[in-house]
Amino acid sequence: MDKIMAMREKRAEMWEQAKQFLDSHEKDGHLTAEDAKAYEQMENEVLALGKDIERMERQAILDAQLAKPVTAAITNIPGAVLNAEKTGRASEAYHAAMLKALRTNFRQVENV
């Protein structure tokens, strides 16, 4: 990123120099052929540096995207129970209610 910022600063300096050149060499609103050629060269250098900056920015974006992990890291502890809370017939509440119903010969049925 520092390289991109340095290139932007250099481009800004080059553009200021090109504008100063244009202001100092322009007489009666016209440039000589040599001065026009020199200004066009300066302008082309500024544009080329701008394209280099855009290329570096796209590269930085792609590097950031490709540096992201593709899959999630394994964070489980081997042998640990993943879902301690069971639902439905496997739940503790169902188990307790079924045992109570069996012990009372289904006279006090709850949550079965």
pLDDT in tens, the chain (112 residues): 799 999 999 999 999 999 999 888 887 778 888 989 999 999 999 999 999 999 999 999 999 999 988 888 777 777 766 666 788 888 888 888 888 888 888 887 665 5
Residues 61 and 22 in one domain: yes
Within a domain: residue 74? no
Full domain range(s) for residue 14: 2-66
Residues 53 and 96 in one domain: no
User: Distance from CA of residue 61 to its chain's centroid?
Assistant: 7
What pTM does this model have? 0.58
Helices (H), strands (E): how many in the chain? Answer: 3, 0
Residue 75: its pLDDT value, please?
Answer: 77
Count: domains in the chain: 2
The neighbouring-strand residues paired with 30 are 27
Residue 83: its pLDDT value, please?
Answer: 64
Within a domain: residue 40? yes
Within a domain: residue 32? yes
The neighbouring-strand residues paired with 27 are 30
Residues 50 and 105 in one domain: no
Residues 16 and 50 in one domain: yes
